[in-house]
Amino acid sequence: MAFFQKLIQKFTDDKSKDNDKGKDSSKGSAQPYYGTIKPDPNFNANRDAAALQKAIETKGVDETAITDILASRTNAQRQEIKAAYERDTGKETLEILRSHYEDVVLALLMTPAQFDAHELKQAMKGLGTKEKVLCEILGTRSNQEIRLIKAAFKEAYGEELEHDIKGDTSGCFQTALLALCKATRSEDSNIDDGLAKSDAKALFEAGEKRLGTVSSVFIDILTSRSEAQLCKIFKQYEKIGTQGFNNAVEHELSGDLEDCLMTLVKAAWNKPAYFAERLHLAMKGAGTNCSTLTRVLVSRSEKDLLKIIQEYKRIYGKTLQEAILVSQTLRKQKLFHWR
């Protein structure tokens, strides 16, 4: 629990008041950067590996030292630390730290592709499927990221990601996921106005204009067009539809397919706001979904976590850090109550 809280504090350290907000100091001032974790300019993998070994071998384990090392380095730097530690000790870093901190360490010491593959496998493991995890990962990653995830999945589990999806999902939801797995979605930032108008018309005619919904049209368009193109389609739809496109999807579709396609819609409009909502829902109600909390914070820590923090406050009227503190306090109280 303590390690988890320290980890979360490190990754959500809002540096929005810093003068270098939005700039990656490792790449110069021209490149905008909205992550909360930046490369350590004085990084030394061997030194960190030695410090990690000392922290692990300390009686009771030095959680503060471990957190300072792992949560203050980029994923690429953590991979170097992991390699140096295993070379020097002959021990598996993942297994040693996992025995103390459960699955939190997987997010830190696996590559992003390996961890996403792990999360997808866990979502389809055993009875029941965590459909929202499938939607979140496959609906928000780039084509290159999905290709790397598929390769990592095959290496770790000896089978294709698509094989598991076919075995654990069905119908139009399965069709949408398999379309995203192809990693052929347009990523062109240029907008085709003519195509946007024809797509908006096709979506209207496949949904609002008729009795019954042609789901295949929604799947084909939403899983193939770029995020920039989708935003143009949504604006064109407002001109011909009786409701906004978000409401149209909610009205025309249902269940897992609705969740999957709404992920694409929300991510296209405002990806940081989508992840802010995922974090909010992970802390809403009885108990905190630590898996979602960890996955989102770590996976976005080198991409857009600063923006997510800003969106969270704008949407929910309190800081993400405050929300996490409250959820963890309630979780501790609940654990204490049941002891």
Q: Could you tell me the CATH number of the domain that includes residue 174?
A: 1.10.220.10
pLDDT given for residue 329 in this prediction:
64
Q: Are residues 171 and 121 located together in one domain of the fold? A: yes
293 occurs within a structural domain: no
Rounded distance between C-alpha atoms, residue 186 and residue 142, angstroms: 10
Render pLDDT for 60-103 as a digit per residue (tens, 0 to 9).
788 888 888 888 899 999 999 999 999 999 988 877 776 656 66
Neighbours of 192 (CB within 10 A): 17
286 DSSP 8-state letter = S
More confident residue, 90 or 331: 90
Q: Are residues 155 and 201 located together in one domain of the fold? A: no
45 occurs within a structural domain: no
Given a cut of 60, whether residue 301 has pLDDT beyond it is: yes
Residue where a domain terminates, one of 205, 225, 253: 253
CA angle 216, 255, 225 (to 5 degrees): 40
186 occurs within a structural domain: no
pLDDT-based confidence at residue 197 (cuts at 50, 70, 90): very high
Q: Are residues 151 and 128 located together in one domain of the fold? A: yes
53 occurs within a structural domain: no
Domain count for the chain, please give it: 2
313 occurs within a structural domain: no
DSSP-assigned letters across all residues of 160-224: -HHHHHHHH--HHHHHHHHHHHT-------S--HHHHHHHHHHHHHHTTTSSS--HHHHHHHHTT
Give the residue numbers spanning the domain of 221: 193-253
Given a cut of 60, whether residue 16 has pLDDT beyond it is: no
- Answering whether pTM is above 0.85, one says yes
User: For 145-149, 167-171, 188-192, 207-211, which range has the lowest pLDDT when averaged over its residues?
Assistant: 207-211
Sign (positive/negative) of CA torsion 245, 246, 247, 250? positive
Residue 23 pairs in a beta bridge with 32
Q: Are residues 163 and 198 located together in one domain of the fold? A: no
CB 105 within 8 A of CB 94: yes
Q: Are residues 121 and 176 located together in one domain of the fold? A: yes
